[in-house]
Structure 1
Amino acid sequence: MTTTGTCIPRRNENIRQVLQSYVQLTKPRIIPLLLITTAAAMWIASEGSVEPLLLAVTLLGGTLAAASAQTLNCIYDRDIDYDMQRTRKRPIPSGRVQPQHALIFAIALGVVSFVLLAVWANLLSALLAMAGIAIYMLVYTHWLKRNSPQNIVIGGAAGAIPPLVGWAAVTGDLGWMPWLLFAIIFVWTPPHFWSLALMIRDDYAAVNVPMLPVVAGEKETARQIWLYTLIVVPMTALPIVPWGPLGATYAAIAGVLGALFLQKASQLKQAPSDKQLARSLFKFSILYMMLLCTGMVVDSLPVTHQVTVAIVQGLQQLAQSLALSFG
């Protein structure tokens, strides 16, 4: 990794601007999506009754772990961040935060995250959160990002770890269901990220980062997005009974979202050069995962089960009445 263009004199700032710079290092817009996948796993694991303190601690620990990983990423990628127009104003390449100070900040975030989860949740959840940081930095950022067009496919495992953390925080172990949630997010990540990569293909090409649109072109990227979407949508049906713990409410939400996801991926496949379609798919992919996880939470609530049972019983009674009437 080079350090070209990173030796910019630090600007004079007030305390508020300094705090804003450190917050920007953590890429805060990314974190809410990670947290909602954590929360969904916790609600399912607890059958809709999450202990408030455990929820708060786990989400805070997850936030700090993600913030640590993103800060480390900013340190490592400061050279290409300076060369890309989109990222040149980030705190490190712009000179507002020095790399050594950012490193101390990242380490502190990681340590606090580990301690919080290990003390107030359990050791397994803490170790999983640290594994997420390690995979993001070593596997994705260091090994794959600048060397392979499959970088986001394999490196996407880091973004799929939060539901494992959430499940482990509640149960202290990992069964098949959290790994299914892991797999769903893992397969969802390429369509999500490659649609963004299609929008900023020229930026990646300028700094020789071999994202799929740069290496294989827009048509092949759109085809890969379509294929991954074809896989992930059916996968979202696996948590539904009789195989999984979720029921009709989640099934309805997942069905509608899946149909829309497939529609948007198909449109992009037909017009892979259309950046507006890529932008639309990227934005929808975020909404898709957030609403899918919300559906999991709502379906896991005891009141949802009670309402579902009441509706089913009412329909059964109606059917019996109709059968007697026409009998």
Structure 2
Amino acid sequence: MSSTLSRVDGAAPFPGAKSGWRAIVDDYYELAKPRIIFLLLVTTFAAMVMAARGIPPLALTFWTLLGGALSAASAGAINCVWDRDIDRLMVRTKFRPVARGAIAPCDALVFAAVAQLAGFAMLYVLVNPLAAWLSLAGNAYYVAIYTMWLKRITPLNIVIGGAAGAVPPLVGWAAVTHQLGSPAFALFAVIFLWTPPHFWALSLMTNIDYDKAGIPMLPNVKGVARTKREIMIYSLVLVGVSLAFFPLHVLGPCYGGCALILGCVFLWDAWKVAGDPTKRAPRVLFKYSLLYLALMCAAMVLDRVVPLPHVV
């Protein structure tokens, strides 16, 4: 997260201090977009713990997370290849290895193909076919629907494309149960609705870059004021839907209490964005949104794992 913000500020150093095999390893590591992979694996593991009502078998956890990481690395690499022209124009992305010529596009595609084949095979053979196909579907959606289509043509790119980032909980649940369940869909919904305010907060800090690259993010197409209103609207929907899982008996009171507290903080930060003409409030919301997602995952896990005493 801190490295993302430093790149937004234009303060990130050029990643060329290392040489030889260490530089090559670092470049391929960055090609995989490890920070995104970490977030995806957090939600995958949370769903696995929810499904198992405890820590799932270690072998199953290892293969699920490794297979998911390889699949996500493949999608990230293809994104870097496809977007290398616009990545060169933005401060936040200009040091990506394909954009700066450290990795040739054809080599990045070979890496992506090997990672995807390995990830799919690992999930299919060592986890189960449903988890493998769900992971592949999420990657295909991210690459074909978001990266190659929506990103450059509509300000709704983040709204529609956000479904790809919400698939990992379904993979995690399927890995444990060989089917899908309502708690997994609850986590899917939270991530799907969380994505627009999270990325629109980022776009308020980087709208000049997006404008230079010709990417139709909401602030550049509809204006900053409209973006701030949309952040507030989506935040209200996010918190409202997240709270609804308690009265609908999808999740219990432990989750409900945590969701209420975390949601109120999220709404407060979203509200402050509307009245702040600087980048400070969007930065605060962007940083908190990452913490919010992690704590919501933890709340769902605790709700499923920790039994509450019955009141007589």
Is the deviation greater in 249-258 or in 137-146? Answer: 249-258
Instruction: Name the amino acid aligned to 2:123.
Output: L
Match for residue 166 of structure 2?
Answer: 160
| Aligned equivalents of 1:237, 1:41: Cα separation in 2 | 18
TM-score computed with the length of structure 1 as normaliser: 0.87
Q: Is the 8 A contact 1:11 1:95 kept in 2?
A: no
**Does the 8 A contact of 1:11 with 1:96 survive in 2?**
no
Matched residue, 1:142:
148
The 5 Å alignment of 1:93-104 reads 93-104=99-110
Equivalent of 2:273 in 268, 282, 292 = 268
Distance 1:299 1:210 in 2: 40
Task: Write the mapping of 1:1-327 to structure 2, written as runs, cut at 5 A.
Answer: 13-240=19-246, 243-244=249-250, 246-271=251-276, 273-301=277-305, 304-305=306-307, 308-309=308-309, 312-313=310-311, 316=312
Specify the SS of the correspondent of 1:83.
Answer: coil
Quote how far apart the aligned CAs of 1:12 are.
9.9
Cα deviation code 1:240-262 (max 9, x no counterpart) = 36621x32322222111001001
**What secondary structure does 2:91 align onto?**
coil
* 3-state SS, counterpart of residue 243 of structure 2: coil
Contact 2:131 2:174 in 1 (8 A): yes
Q: Is the 8 A contact 2:231 2:270 kept in 1?
A: yes
Question: Do the aligned partners of 1:249 and 1:299 also contact (CA within 8 Å) in 2?
Answer: yes
The range that moved more, 99-108 or 31-40, is 31-40
Work out which of the two has the higher radius of gyration on C-alpha atoms and give 1 or 2.
1
Measured in 1, the distance between the counterparts of 2:56 and 2:229 equals 40
Give 4+ residue runs of structure 1 displaced > 4 Å after superposition: none
Native 8 Å contact 2:187 2:297 kept in 1: no
CA distance in 2, matches of 1:35, 1:12: 28
**Structure 2 length normalisation: TM-score?**
0.91
CA distance in structure 2 between the aligned counterparts of 1:44 and 1:85, rounded to whole angstroms:
39
- Preserved CA contact (<8 Å) 1:153 1:189: yes
> How many pairs are equivalent?
297
Distance (Å, rounded) in 1 between the aligned partners of 2:18 and 2:41: 34
Rounded Cα–Cα distance in structure 1 between residues aligned with 2:61 and 2:245: 22
| SS of residue matched to 1:237 | helix
After superposition, the CA RMSD in angstroms is 1.7
Partner letter of residue 298 of structure 1? Answer: L
* Other-structure match for 1:323: none
